[in-house]
Amino acid sequence: MNTPTIRIGSRGSQLALWQANHIAAELRAQGHTVEIEVIRTIGDRMQDPAFIAPATYPDGTPLDNKGIFIKEIEEALAAGRIDLAVHSLKDLPTELDPRFTLAAIPPRVDARDAFVCENFWGLHMLPLGSSIATTSPRRKAMLLALRPDIRFVEMRGNIDTRLRKWAAGEADALVLASAGLDRLGRTENVHQRFAIDELTPAPGQGALGLETRSPHHALSTDDPTRDPAIHAAVRALNHPATEFAVQAERHVLAALGGGCSLPLGAYCHEVDGAWHLHCAVAAADGEEVIHTVERARVGGMSAEEFGQRAAMGLQARGAMQLLAGSPTPTA
């Protein structure tokens, strides 16, 4: 099936453009014609100190942490201006608008979190009361479980902005996703990558999510064959093992509330023919952490069933009380 030109919508950050260009190269290698359109989201505009964020989007829906980086891109996708959005999967909500579909998830890279610091080569080496820049509730809670004395600095912006602010002395260290640092070649001050049971990654971390219009909704009414053809072209980039792993992780998140503000980590990988799904939920102050590992034979169940089973294990150990800020019940 011949495909029309595939138009990718991307944010203008260095990492977003790297990801868009990477997928464009993969599609071109399969013989497709690809263009990239840069779309400035409200999340990008919020990086400007002079910008005053509104309480709602123009359509009246309230701002949310994930939507601020994807809403304008999805609007362009719905309008037919672009055909494909390339996301960091951990930033994509667990439930998509039915007009769209997650057409493909390419192979995942390093999902771990990285410790960025020039003078101290590990979290345990930081002096008492040092500061770490992160806005992630998950990272804060799990770092406090390892080092209760740590202070946190709110630092927003893309990777280059955060690295620049850290280099200017605004924090003693940074904790960022290894994947972004690796993709941009900014690993010169990465001396520690946290083990999965120390700082369990966010669901989907390290993976890309390729979002297209659903071929069943036929939003491109001028040509009813366009959306199915584009979906098929993008689907060819899917990596089934990565897709299963990250979908299992996302089902854990969905079962426990689905929000990016949860101090919850989930990481699934294959070991000797079995899936291992590591999950962790932490109290906001790091005083308590629930960590579980579910196992299932490869091919034994769906990603949804596996993720829901892991979520039930967390719930049985008091995860919902922990997420709500209450102490977990003791036996």
Q: 62: which DSSP letter?
A: B
Q: Say whether 149 is catalytic.
A: no
Cβ atoms within 10 Å, residue 283: 20
**Does an H or E element contain 86, and which?**
strand 84-88
**Does an H or E element contain 87, and which?**
strand 84-88
Please, is 233 exposed, middle or buried when counting C-beta atoms within 10 Å of its C-beta (0-12, 13-18, 19+)? buried
Query: Smallest Cα–Cα separation from 229: which of 27, 90, 13?
Result: 27
Query: Smallest Cα–Cα separation from 315: which of 304, 303, 329?
Result: 329
Q: Give, in degrees to the nearest 5, the angle at Cα 153 between 254 and 119.
A: 110
Catalytic residue among 44, 83, 91, 172: 91
SS3 199: coil
Query: Smallest Cα–Cα separation from 104: which of 228, 279, 242, 292?
Result: 242
The set of catalytic residues is: 91
